[in-house]
Structure 1
Amino acid sequence: MKISADALLFDNDGTLISSLESVHRCWSRWAREYGIPAEDFARVELHGRPASDIIGDLLPAHRVPEARARIDELELADVAGGGVVALPGTVELLGRLPVDRWAVVTSANRELAEARLAAVGISPALLISADDITRGKPDPEPFLLAADKLGFAPARCVVFEDAPAGLAAGRAAGMRTVALTTTADRDQLVADVVVKDLSAVSVKATEGGLEITAGE
């Protein structure tokens, strides 16, 4: 499938990088520390959502700030443990893009997102994190903010996501979407096109913007 666009907006974890080992370690430890029953923890969707929203599903509201600070501490410390890797196609694709035509839009806080990206040698000119917004995915606010800061109309932006919540946010923002099957089954992903990972995506810069080819 070919898509003409002005800018590309990438989710981070599960799209550009994988930190699933780190996430599992840290959140499992966090749940034990806070006495979260295993059955309650298993019912909560961790991927693609801001940490505060996840914690809010498990603890009373007055405990969220303290618990959020603790998971942030655990995840940041764990980056050095080697559990972060670039997913196939990530480095090659980003290296071909004009720096002012793409952004990373993540549900993680800025410090953690920057640390994970730096661990694989990625330094985006624009990063939208949980610290920049009031409503996280599946709300469209993060993607709309990225489009605004890049200076392009939402309809001319393409979202790359692996999580249903992120894809819902992209659709709600009026953007075209490309889903990656890196963390979810294909039948869970609603998008304009579905690919295995970014190795199945190529981009050509033209005078009028970007020409994307996405497909297996």
Structure 2
Amino acid sequence: MKISAAALLFDNDGTLVSSMDSVNRCWTRWAEEYGITPEEFARVELHGRPAAEIIGDLLPAARTPEALARIERLEVEDVAGGVVALPGTLALLSQLPPERWAVVTSATARLAEARLAEVGIRPKALIAADDITRGKPDPEPFLLAARRLGVDPADCVVFEDAPAGLTAGRAAGMTTVALTTTHRAGELSADVIVEDLSAVSVQATADGLEIITAD
């Protein structure tokens, strides 16, 4: 399938990189430190959500700032050796003009930059939890990314692995490409579904970008 676009917007964890081993280690330790039982913790969805929202499901609001600082510290310290680039990531990004793509993540900028740097990715544009008031599935993060890149949202393609991110992309009026890296295809609603970014290639043209996905 071929898709024309002005810019590409990528989720980070589960799309560009995998940090699930690190996430599980750090959040398990965090939960133990804060006296949260495994049963309580198991009821909370972690993937694709800002840490502040996760903490808000588990602790009183007054404890959120301290707890948020603690989990960020644990995750940043666990980056070395705990993050790997997913298949196709580095090859695809090498095909893109720096001003034509952005990373849109639910993590803080500090954590996102640390994880990306671990695999050698340094995006020119990064939208993180620090930049927004409403996270995915709200379209705000993707709309902000389009503004930062100076393109019409309708001319953007979103690459996501999580239902909340795909919902946000659709709500922003963007074309969506789902990756089955963390969810089964039946759990994902998108314009195109692929296994990972190794199934995607991009050609820069005079008019923008032409994305080709494997059938």
Matched, 1:31 2:31: yes
Work out the CA distance in 2 between the residues paired with 1:131 and 1:73: 15
Structure 1 unmatched runs, 5+: none
Partner of 1:195: 194
Could you report, residue by residue, the CA deviation over 1:172-205 in whole angstroms, capped at 9, with x for unpaired residues? Answer: 1111100000011111111001000000001111
Opposite residue 24 of structure 1, the aligned amino acid is N
The answer to whether the Cα contact below 8 Å between 1:193 and 1:215 also exists between their aligned partners in 2 is no
Partner of 2:122: 123
Q: CA deviation at 1:62?
A: 1.0
Structure 2 unmatched runs, 5+: none
Could you report, residue by residue, the CA deviation over 1:146-166 in whole angstroms, capped at 9, with x for unpaired residues? Answer: 000100010000000001111
Partner of 1:49: 49
Q: CA deviation at 1:38?
A: 1.2
Could you report, residue by residue, the CA deviation over 1:119-168 in whole angstroms, capped at 9, with x for unpaired residues? Answer: 00001000111111111111111100000010001000000000111111
Work out the CA distance in 2 between the residues paired with 1:176 and 1:203: 15
Question: How many residues end up aligned between the 2 structures?
Answer: 215
Give the TM-score taking structure 1 as reference length: 0.98
Work out the CA distance in 2 between the residues paired with 1:147 and 1:209: 14
Matched, 1:179 2:149: no
Could you report, residue by residue, the CA deviation over 1:7-28 in whole angstroms, capped at 9, with x for unpaired residues? Answer: 0000001000000000000000
Work out the CA distance in 2 between the residues paired with 1:192 and 1:127: 24
Partner of 2:132: 133
Partner of 2:113: 114
Percent identical residues: 74
Alignment of 1:86-101 (within 5 A): 86-101=85-100
Work out the CA distance in 1 between the residues paired with 2:207 and 2:152: 14
Opposite residue 52 of structure 1, the aligned amino acid is A
Give the TM-score taking structure 2 as reference length: 0.98
Partner of 1:40: 40
Partner of 2:104: 105
Partner of 1:72: 72
Work out the CA distance in 2 between the residues paired with 1:23 and 1:109: 14
Could you report, residue by residue, the CA deviation over 1:63-98 in whole angstroms, capped at 9, with x for unpaired residues? Answer: 111110110010011112x01000000000000001
CA RMSD of the aligned region, Å? 0.7
Work out the CA distance in 2 between the residues paired with 1:67 and 1:165: 24
Q: CA deviation at 1:215?
A: 2.6
What secondary structure does 1:79 align onto? coil
Work out the CA distance in 2 between the residues paired with 1:23 and 1:211: 34
